[in-house]
Amino acid sequence: MMLAESAGAADASADPRVRAGIQLHLPTYRTESLADIRAIAQRAADVGFGEVWVTDNLSSRSALAVLCDLAPRVQVDLGTAILAQYLRSPFETARALTCVSELMDGRALHVGIGAGNPSSTRLLETPKPGAFMRETTECLRLLLSGKPVELAAFPLLAAYFRMSPTAVVSGLPAAPGPTQIYGGGNGPRGLDLAGGRLDGVILGWTLLPAILLDRLAPMVSAIRTGAEAAGRTGLPTLVGEVKLSLAQSTDAARDFARAHAPSLASRWLGLRTRGYGAAELAALGMTEKCISVMESAVAGRALASEWLGDELMDSFMIVGDPTRCRERVEWLAQRAQAQGVSQLMFSELGPDPLAAVTILGETVLPALRETRR
């Protein structure tokens, strides 16, 4: 598939480099020990990545517990991409994040908030996602600053977590280190909210198809509109997630991607609820037959991995050997950066995550440091 070639002007004041981190997609590491997960994070720090992010999912370890394990040991910034806003109250979240911050000795903690992935939203009631994210992020900002919270200002939170709507919560200690709050909602309301009120935006796993179909520019425009309406100058930090499968051979990388295709089917089908039309889905390689197979998988029926062809795979992930991945990452980074994206996070990583992180450090990070507009 050919990349969309249009690119809007980014802020002239932005850092010309693209920063990079890894995302520990915790469901991928269900069978790994916590020590193994920590080893991946430590390897990322050793080879030069600046951030380690963790996901939040009901079918994996607690994101907050994993952060507490990493915080004193892995000497990079940490983040959540994202914390599911319906899983726990902002008060419980703030208490845990304050402990994480205390263990980080002044390093930055990046807190991404969003509705959660399909496995979470199928199991939980998810009322008014945009308004809920606004209340969650504003409440959390107050709590992490050690300020009192009047629940009358947060009626959705009070009702959902069965708290007294007239109560005032105070006395929580402030997080001792710097904290930044990122929006994980990529719809119009979520992007506008992040532009106007938050420190950054996490552009999720749809970053690659958005670039391919020239949808990134309108997303950034919505963020900019929110910023301008709030009287803010420039854009908040834009972080793009990149699904990646990297191995010494492209065949091994593709086999790893196919092994995880069933868990991704519901995400791909979710493009329809994000407004992607039939022609756009077809351009990504999502044929009617593919869509039918995905729907069967989501309904709980068996899914053979052979349906995932190379074209469809390459529309959603960067897959290949070190040379191919470097070329694809550099190409994606140039187009993302031209729209204002200043950070990338790499997720999934490949058959051997320790080896993949090492190869990324040796081959891909130098390409990002060389990237210029």
Q: What is the pLDDT of residue 322?
A: 95
Task: Judge residue 27's burial from the number of C-beta atoms within 10 Å of its C-beta, 0-12 exposed, 13-18 middle, 19 or more buried.
Answer: middle
Q: What is the pLDDT of residue 4?
A: 42
CATH number at residue 238: 3.20.20.30
The phi-psi region of residue 296 (left if phi > 0; otherwise alpha if psi is between -120 and 50; otherwise beta) is alpha
Q: What is the pLDDT of residue 8?
A: 35
- Domain assignment present for residue 327? The answer is yes
Phi and psi angles of residue 123, each rounded to the nearest 5 degrees, phi first: -100, -15
- Domain assignment present for residue 285? The answer is no
- Domain assignment present for residue 183? The answer is yes
* Residue 191 tokens, joined: 């992007």
Q: What is the pLDDT of residue 300?
A: 67
Across-strand partners of 239? 202, 343
Q: What is the pLDDT of residue 9?
A: 34
CA distance 338 to 346: 19
- Domain assignment present for residue 294? The answer is no
Q: Is the pLDDT of residue 16 over 60?
A: no
- Domain assignment present for residue 175? The answer is yes
Q: What is the pLDDT of residue 305?
A: 64
Q: What is the pLDDT of residue 36?
A: 97
- Domain assignment present for residue 313? The answer is no
Q: Is the pLDDT of residue 12 over 60?
A: no
Q: What is the pLDDT of residue 193?
A: 96
274 confidence band (pLDDT: 50, 70, 90): confident
pLDDT in tens, 220-234: 999 999 999 999 999
Residue 347 three-state SS = strand
Q: What is the pLDDT of residue 302?
A: 63
pLDDT in tens, 28-45: 899 999 999 999 999 999
Q: What is the pLDDT of residue 5?
A: 35
Q: What is the pLDDT of residue 1?
A: 43
- H/E stretch holding 203 reads strand 200-203
**Using CA of residue 150, residue 85, residue 52, residue 206, what is the dihedral sign?**
negative
The whole-number average pLDDT for the span 254-260 is 88
The whole-number average pLDDT for the span 281-304 is 80
* Residue 44 tokens, joined: 């990322």
Domain hosting residue 87, numbered range: 19-249+319-370
pLDDT in tens, 141-198: 999 999 999 999 999 999 999 999 999 999 999 999 999 999 999 999 999 999 999 9
CA distance 28 to 62: 14
Q: What is the pLDDT of residue 266?
A: 78
pLDDT in tens, 308-341: 789 889 999 999 999 999 999 999 999 999 999 9
pLDDT in tens, 53-98: 999 998 899 999 999 999 999 999 999 999 999 999 999 999 999 9
- Domain assignment present for residue 306? The answer is no
Q: Do β-strands 200-203 and 237-246 pair in parallel, antiparallel, or remain unpaired?
A: parallel
CA distance 311 to 243: 15
pLDDT in tens, 95-151: 999 999 999 999 999 999 999 877 777 789 999 999 999 999 999 999 999 999 999
Give residue 201's identity as a one-letter amino acid code: V
Alpha helices in 103-241 (DSSP H): 118-121, 129-144, 155-160, 188-197, 207-212, 216-229
Q: Is the pLDDT of residue 267 over 70?
A: yes
CA distance 209 to 268: 10
Output 153 or 368, whichever has higher pLDDT: 153
Q: What is the pLDDT of residue 108?
A: 98
The whole-number average pLDDT for the span 1-9 is 36
- Domain assignment present for residue 260? The answer is no
Q: For residue 250, which of 154, 314, 344 has the smallest C-alpha distance?
A: 314
The whole-number average pLDDT for the span 20-34 is 94
CA distance 144 to 83: 15
Q: In total, how many domains does the chain have?
A: 1
